[in-house]
Structure 1
């Protein structure tokens, strides 16, 4: 182009070079479904993987939630910008990332398996085992859940106050102490399966079946 020459939007100019400012500081542009975008905020922690390094987990942070929606096949998504430190230069422009955004995290809390809150004893199944139910059941009020404890050959109900959950484990804010056992299921005609209440965060990656204090 010459100085003073008119530039029109219709001109097509080839791209000769793409210049990256600093490859040690990358960005991930994530498409988040409209059903989940309401929980995403700036500053939230993010972990992600890329197919090029399947065994590596990278960390980042939400820096921007863009308001322009994109509709593809009747699915509405929003772009979320995530900063991704790249000191080892492993991440390259154009890689596809699978992300996890941590919308809520808590540590050092008491949890029980969510199955314990759904367990309902059947007297007809317990009777052949010699297991009986406590005579009096407490009234379940708003914000309370019922769990069962096996004390000897008797199942005793306990009212607990629950908090947040990730589906597999649920926070207990009142009604249980760490180490107390609650019934989660009947695995055989021999005995009820119990699981101890554990102190851990339900919103941090945990090994399957882990319920010990960390």
Structure 2
């Protein structure tokens, strides 16, 4: 069946699998790296990793336009539900089978306060097992943690990892994450959106490929990679 990964800049990701369109952390408005507008993207499901404004982003606008189901932790799902959106709440370590596959919320080291200051629960990453059996790990905003090895034990086909530093893992820790996760393919995210998180992704890719068996795909915003 195949899976297509599109990077829209920052931590905004589009996944197409089995005819379903998933949109992750849809930050388009105010994103200087974005090559698309929120009224241009398709979404059957929207995944929100945590409550920060550059990740909740345009969720409300896109969900109301498309009718997409929003998937996040229980607190964010409840907050968005009060805005009239269709939501499904999960929690860390919990999984649920959706039409597009089985989705588990993974641990992440970060914050999660919502844009209005409300409590946003725990930040999360996503571990997706598609209906075709591909394993995709979207770390989203996180620091390095040792239990990435346990996630790697699942047999990861594709991992998206932040490399920007300051707010998330930087290049050194992201390399260590690849060593723990042992994925077949890696895509760097959450870098070069703002000056504070400028990184040389191609230099990082070279380091990763010299140190591990992973293949790194450095995408420009708007570009895609298919498994």
TM-score tier (shorter): under 0.3
The TM-score normalised by the length of structure 2 is 0.19
Structure with max Cα Rg: 1
Which has a greater percent of strand?
1
